[in-house]
Structure 1
Amino acid sequence: MASLSVAIAFSVRLLLVLLFLPFSALDKILNFRGAVGQAREAVHATAPATVLILIGLGVEIGMSLCILTGVADRAAAFVLAGYCGVTALLWKQFWVPGDFWAGGKGRALFWDFLKNFALAGGFLLITFGTGAGTVQDFLADPLGSTHPYAIADRARP
């Protein structure tokens, strides 16, 4: 039963980071020029766009690995939640096309925008837990681990 619990805990975390590691990170590596081109839409210059893509690559790989291994996973999840919010604001600007009510590109971007924030909410669950007491745990030790694969001894009723 313990190995099933660990497998489920790992699988849930894997599902949460799967978008970033390997898919988005691999896409940035294999299509680096295209990724920089997309980043230029937000910053309009190649050098800052390249820096943004490299930072994004580091965040996607590094923070995902922290979440999967449980090393400083709360801080990593907090960073990825912020990353989801920032990327939504920079690249999912549903208000720009002006065709939201007509069902055009703006409407599709709106759903992507909301998905980014929903994903951020999932990461914030790792960061803060599900109760008010667990928020204090994070504030007391932001770089601590949630020890996601530890099996606690529980007294059976």
Structure 2
Amino acid sequence: MTWNEAIWIAARVCLVAMFPFSAIDKVWHWKNSLAQTNAGRSPGTGGLPGAPLLLVLAILVEGLTPICIVTGCLDRPAAVLLAGFCVVTAFLYHPFWAYPDFFSAGDDSVAREHFWQFVKNFGLVGGLLLVVFAGTLESPFAILRPATWSSRPG
């Protein structure tokens, strides 16, 4: 294995490492996960219809797509699927705009906690889209040429 391949694999592992643990947590704490799905996360809203099926699908997505992304087997479709999952999760479970305490004083703002989870999900979407659209291995030294560009347009 070359340094390029090792860096590539390490970056992908870091990008998706949390998802298998999240899938295991959902299985391990099924009742709590199902209750969370049934209850909904926005104030004053109900849960999602078909919660058990959606929970099983979430477990499959979080458990299988990281394997594809790390191994490079169907990595681009898996990254698209996982990116979509992150977008849906951000909007359904972290609607920071629905909480009135965003600008309140103190450290216990529910809205701010959801805001950071929302933003984190979109950071993951960005990394996953790089797997989709920048899927080639290059030498670590290639990023230094030309030094003023981080990528090359079209």
1:123 equivalent to 2:123? Answer no
Aligned residue number for residue 25 of structure 1: 23
1:94 equivalent to 2:96? Answer yes
Structure 1 letter corresponding to 2:14:
L
From the two aligned structures, give the one with the greater helix fraction.
1
Give the superposed CA RMSD: 2.2
* Structure 1, unaligned runs of 5 or more: 130-145, 152-157
Q: Hey, what's the Cα distance between the residues in 2 that align with 1:101 and 1:109?
A: 13
* Structure 2, unaligned runs of 5 or more: 41-45, 140-154
Identity %: 37
Query: Do the aligned partners of 1:70 and 1:147 also contact (CA within 8 Å) in 2?
Result: no
Aligned residue number for residue 8 of structure 2: 9
Structure 2 letter corresponding to 1:114:
V
> SS state of the match for residue 75, structure 1?
helix
**TM-superposed deviation, 1:147:** 7.0
Counterpart pick for 1:111 among 113, 116, 119 = 116
Q: Hey, what's the Cα distance between the residues in 2 that align with 1:84 and 1:15?
A: 16
**TM-superposed deviation, 1:79:** 0.7
Runs of 4+ aligned structure 1 residues displaced above 4 Å come to none
TM-score by length of 2: 0.78
Structure 1 letter corresponding to 2:84:
G
Aligned residue number for residue 44 of structure 1: 47
Counterpart pick for 1:78 among 74, 77, 80 = 80
Query: Do the aligned partners of 1:97 and 1:106 also contact (CA within 8 Å) in 2?
Result: yes
TM-score by length of 1: 0.76
**TM-superposed deviation, 1:11:** 0.8
**TM-superposed deviation, 1:26:** 1.0
Aligned residue number for residue 149 of structure 2: none
